[in-house]
Amino acid sequence: MDPHTPWWHKTILYQVYPMSFQDTNHDGIGDIPGITRRLDYIQSLGVNMLWINPIFASPKVDNGYDVSDYMQIDPQFGTMEDVEELIHEAHARGIKIIFDMILNHTSDQHPWFQEALKGPDNKYRNYYIWRDGKEEGAKAPNNWEGFFGTSVWEKGPRDDDQYYFHLFAKEMPDLNWENPDVRRDLTDIALFWLDKGIDGFRLDAFIHIVKEAGYPDLDLPEGEIALAEQYYANLPMVNQYMRIYTTTLREHFPDIYMLGEAASADVELARSYCDPNQGGCNSVITFRYFTMDEESKDPRLNGNMQATNLLYQPFKENMDQWQHAMNDVGGPTLYWSNHDMARTVSRIGNDHVYRDNSAKMLATLMYLQKGIPVIYNGEEIGMKNLFIDAIEDFDSPEAQKFYEKALDLGYTREWALHNLRETSKDSARGGMQWHDGDQAGFSTVEPWSGVNVEKKYNVKEQMMDSNSILIHYKKVLDLKRTELFNSGAYRLLLTDDHFYAYERELDNKVATIICNVTEDMHYYDLEPVPDNGYRRPILSNEGVRLIKGGNTVRLGAYGAVVLLTDYE
């Protein structure tokens, strides 16, 4: 590795959703001691960094993203001593830790907001965004819609005409980043945790911290609201604020890792967010990779909640663009899913007939590209979506709205629930499957979210099966840690829709990765190897065979192979 290459270019991230990972105090909710207990397992995967979803004090309106105290651990998860032990034990195993830092909003139970409610003259009033309503307070200040399907404005409880701004739930008021006191206090919070020994942050929703001056109305019929991302996402001042924020932290802790959540950022914005002279992030997570089949969806309903297929040809083009644009900054983040998406093998793969092979193929396809792998806990054993059979069991507020509107449009209950099961983030938050016994080893009592108990798809069984999804993931990550797959040049190979194929090249080695993304058998013709070269398979899943003197690969359903060619 080039001595000038930043250390984090070799990062392999494992995302832990604490509520669903391991319960140790028998309340059905995962906790911090549960993460500590499983560190040896996490280390065995070959990862070197943990991203832990929020564990700060919170009323849990949005599962911890509504923080009521940034410097206290929610008792549901444990104590500060538990966190300190986790940090110590992770570091002892060579694993770094980053926490979710929620920069855009707090809980309405946070002391800052409770003070702000006391009136316009309170110091903390300006920690949040307040505006006078229209028509002497009878109407909201504008017609913007938030991400939870309601107006971004909620009237304050006092007898005045002011409303506060919230992009998410009304219990999650947005912070006013124009106020230097807000920026200072959020910096102090980050320094508090860095002093505790964590290694950085995943910056939640940071692209939304700036809103358009004047809060202009959208051009809509009277009484309607609509999403207005052009007015509250990726505005120019975001980079200025983030550069100051990250630079200040690095003055104290130069080697921290900052992972920005930039859901709607295109590749040009992502480049700017990862520029140390602009946004100051090391990497960003965008939702722009995945080109789903939009034509099959009903435009009257939320498209994100309608099950459909990934269109591989535009997906390949997207990934190729991101590979080249982010090449000199460590590559893009590489991920299939997270806590806000349905499970990978259900959403993209085939969890009915070809669960093992599709899961292995997807891991091979994604994580051997150039970039930073981000693996969501349970993905490595092929965990599928939870089966949720009642609308009341969906925690997402958007789910209820989708369900009711679908029924109003004439769709059946079964159709609506099927689409929600296939797409909802609730389906991805089931308990981690450690074994096939009671509650899958996640807890001794019924989990808060439900759990799939499956004979084959659990850690215990797969650790003992050399042909399992888990062992395949370990092999993929073993390759990922090599110089070829970490630093080697990337080249997408032109193929038809049946394949996703690319090469990685470094010095005298070329790896060819060929993935059949369909459930049919296909043949892939290779270029003949020159006399000074020797080609051999170094990783494959089931149904893959070299034929015709090694110049053609036959790939069964969801087949994947990595071929290494050494040149003299």
Active site residues: 204, 261
User: Token pair 């002497």 is at which residue?
Assistant: 136
User: Token pair 């092979």 is at which residue?
Assistant: 357
Rg of the Cα trace of the chain?
Answer: 24
- Assign 365 to helix, strand or coil: helix
Torsion sign, CA atoms 144, 146, 149, 153: negative
Sheet-wide strand order for 283-285: 283-285, 257-261, 200-204, 96-102, 49-52, 13-16, 372-376, 333-334
State the CB neighbour count (10 A cutoff) for residue 107: 27
First to last CA, the chain: 21
Consecutive H or E run containing 40? helix 39-45
- Nearby residues of 515 by Cβ (< 8 Å), 6 or more positions away: 361, 364, 365, 499, 500, 501, 555, 558, 559, 560
Angle between helices 180-196 and 237-252 (to 10 degrees): 40
Angle between helices 413-423 and 397-408 (to 10 degrees): 150
Q: What is the b/e burial string over 303-342, where b = at least 16 CB atoms within 10 angstroms of the residue's CB?
A: eebbbbeebbeebbebbebbbbbbeebbbbbbbbbbbbbb
Do 130 and 164 contact (CB within 8 A), yes or no?
A: yes
Distance CA 388, CA 433 (A): 17
Task: Single out the residue of 64, 36, 22, 86 nearest to residue 432, CA to CA.
Answer: 22
Q: How is residue 301 annotated by DSSP?
A: S
DSSP string, 59-118: --TTTTSS-SEEEEE-TTT--HHHHHHHHHHHHHTT-EEEEEEE-SB--TTSHHHHHHTT
Distance CA 566, CA 568 (A): 7
DSSP bridge partners of 547: 552
